Structure 1
Amino acid sequence: MLLRLFTAAEDGEAYKRVLKRRCVLFEVLIVLGLATIAGAYFLGKVMPDFVRGFYPGVGTGVALSCAFGLFGTKRTLKDEKKLRAELIKETDERGKEVTLRAASTTSLLLIVAAYVALMVAVAVDLTVFFTLLGTILLFFIIFLSAHAYYNKKL
Structure 2
Amino acid sequence: MINIILFKVIKIKINEKNKLRKKNKASKFNVPPKIIIDIAKKSLPSIGYLINKSNINVDFSLTFGFSAPDKTALTYGLINAIIYSFDCFLSNTAKKFYSTYKIVPDLKNEKIELYLDFKIYIKLFFVLAFFFKLLKVLLAYKYYFKIKGGVAYGASN
Common fold: TM-score over 0.5: no
User: Normalization by structure 1: what TM-score?
Assistant: 0.29
User: Normalization by structure 2: what TM-score?
Assistant: 0.28
Q: Which structure ranks higher in relative contact order (CA pairs < 8 Å, sequence separation ≥ 6)?
A: 2
Identify the structure with the greater helix proportion: 1
